[in-house]
Every structure is written in structure tokens, then in C-alpha cells.
Amino acid sequence: MQLDEYRLLYPTEIVHSCTLTKSDGTSALVREGMLKFDDSACDWAGPFEGDYAYFCILDERHLPGTNKLKSLAQLREEARFCHYNMPRTAGFHNPATSEAQLQKRLKDLTPKELREWEAKIAAWHPEHAWIECPFTLYLCGNDDFSYSKWFPTLEAAHEEVELLLACEPLNTQRDIRDNGFVFTN
């Protein structure tokens, strides 16, 4: 459903549009609307009236400042140093600041822990767009709960939206979690 159609149907519901701006001053917002959910709408920690969630497609190329996109390989390299990705048994509470410090910490791991850490880094997925997938399909309710999925082309993002719209009412588990969307808050 288009956002303006939803606003006509539920005039008292407040839905804010995305306001992300690219470095050339244009909006990163490509498309927005509402998706209808079944009784799993409560999973959205506050669905919009009528069991809807907001969606938008964002073109995250050419964002200003620190929002510039990196390659997936660069992001995975950075993830190696993040303390969230360290094995709990190693007692790492702070991120490693150098390759030498990281290697020192990894030496304390058992072979099994090291294999698990390597598998975790190989499977690690960013929670934002990257150079190879600069188009984001973002879904949210009216509270602190969202899912995102990234696409290499704008056409692929539009195709995903069309598929979701054709399958309404959606089920959060089947159509979102089991369909490659990542919990982003």
C-alpha cells in the first residue's frame, strides 16, 4: 500500500518518512509504503494501526561523511577486531586495536574455539549497506524494532517489495526472518 493511501485509511496514525540525504543534497529515499501483516504483526513491537509495518527502499550510494560505503571484504576485516565477535571464553571485553594484538588473543583459544571464531567471521553480515549491495529495504513498526535486507540493484529491491505486496498479509517469521532479512534493531 502506498503511504498516502495508508494515511487516508488511518488519518490519526503518524508515520514518518525516511529523511536520509545523499552528499549531492538529494534524498536517499526511493520508495516507501506499508505492508500488511497477519496476527504476527505484534512481532513488530508496535505495529501501525491495521497490522501494518512501514517499508522504504534507500539508495545508500554517495552518502556524506562517515556513512560512505565500504566493501563487504573491508567490513569483514573490521569485524575481526570487534569485541562482539570474539569468543566469550577468551574473555575479550575490548576490541583489538592491531593485528598483533588480535593474533595474541587468538593464540589463547583452543582449536575448536578458533574454528568457531573463523566460521563466525566468515558468516558475519553487516547491519547496513555496503558497496556491492547499496540498496536497502528497511521495514519497521512504530517502535524500536526493524529488519533490513540489501540488494545489488534497485530493480532487485523493487522486485522484493512487489513480491511482499503480492503475498499480503505477511507472516513475520516466514516472509521476513526466513527470507534473508536481518534484524537491525
pTM: 0.78
| Residue 135: predicted pLDDT | 94
Statement: residue 75 has pLDDT above 90:
no
| Residue 94: predicted pLDDT | 58
| Residue 91: predicted pLDDT | 47
Per-residue confidence at 84, pLDDT binned at 50, 70, 90? low
113-119, long-range: CB within 8 Å, 24+ apart, which pairs? Answer: 113/87, 113/89, 116/87, 117/85, 117/86, 117/87
91-120 mean pLDDT: 74
Sequence-separated (6 or more) residues with CB below 8 Å from residue 86: 92, 105, 117
> Regarding predicted confidence, which is higher, 32 or 142?
32
Domain chopping of the chain, boundaries: 3-66+131-183, 72-123
